[in-house]
Structure 1
Amino acid sequence: MSADRIALTGLRARGRHGVLAAERELGQEFVIDATLFLDTRPAALTDDLSKTVHYGELAQALVKVVEGEPVQLIETLAQRLADVCLADELVRSVEVSVHKPAAPIPLPFDDVTVTIERSRP
């Protein structure tokens, strides 16, 4: 089985996710990393985009989720993003990280990140 990867990192989008009312009112930037695991050999052999993941279209779909319906937890947001990735039948598994660099923490910090791994059943 192939362990090829397509990684989309640092994708930025504004969302209204969080537990606090201010997070939902004002929104904030989220940063998404997604690594998709699939077999890229069919695409490489044929030079055919339809036999791999179109990362431009994937980026648009992920941003739509971030900009869409608010959730309280970034764990929930990460799951929704993983579901989008796994909707493509070529993707065997995915690792998704959601970064929340402006999380409401009253101490100096660089980032808050939730990372999940999900596989096709």
Structure 2
Amino acid sequence: MTDELAIHGIECFAHHGVFDFERREGQVFVVDLVLGLDTAPAARSGELKDTVHYGTLVEAVKSAVERDPVDLVETVAQRIADVCLEDRRVEWARITLHKPDAPIEATFRDVALTITRTRGPADD
């Protein structure tokens, strides 16, 4: 059985993008996470050590987004997935990376990429 832990709306400021002005000026990115994990051990023990510490995870995700500028949101989303899957208890991670201020010459609300990554057999 897999439970889901969701964290929505993690705001980050970073300098990703294809255009020079994106790299120079930076912009807000917003991250939504959904993690698949078994929460039963933590429910039984009542101990934080038996689950994913989402406070620490958010700090690591924010750091991953805000460092080392890259061109594509695909690269940033994969970086976030890698951070989430570092914890062996996380079986899969669904990441949505929002770029609400993407340089598009049209009225729009959001640009968002959603990826899902699972722990491979070699990762166990």
TM-score w.r.t. the length of structure 2 is 0.96
Structure 1 position 3, deviation (Å): 2.0
Amino acid at match of 1:78: A
Unpaired runs of 5+ residues, structure 2, are none
Amino acid at match of 1:20: F
1:10-29 to structure 2, matched below 5 A, reads 10-29=9-28
> What is the rounded CA distance, in whole Å, between the counterparts of 1:118 and 1:75 in structure 2?
13
Deviation per residue, 1:43-83 (Å, 9 max, x gap) = 00000111110000000000001110011000110000000
**Aligned counterpart, 2:91:** 92
**Aligned counterpart, 1:104:** 103
Matched, 1:120 2:116: no
* Fraction of identical pairs, as percent: 48
May I ask how many residue pairs the two structures share in their alignment?
Answer: 120
**Aligned counterpart, 2:39:** 40
Q: Secondary structure at the match of 1:24?
A: helix
**Aligned counterpart, 2:54:** 55
Q: What do you get for the CA RMSD once the two structures are aligned?
A: 0.5
> What is the rounded CA distance, in whole Å, between the counterparts of 1:66 and 1:80 in structure 2?
8
Amino acid at match of 2:52: V
Superposition misfits of 4+ residues, deviation over 2 angstroms: none
1:63-102 to structure 2, matched below 5 A, reads 63-102=62-101
**Aligned counterpart, 1:5:** 4
> What is the rounded CA distance, in whole Å, between the counterparts of 1:112 and 1:3 in structure 2?
29
Structure 1 position 91, deviation (Å): 0.2
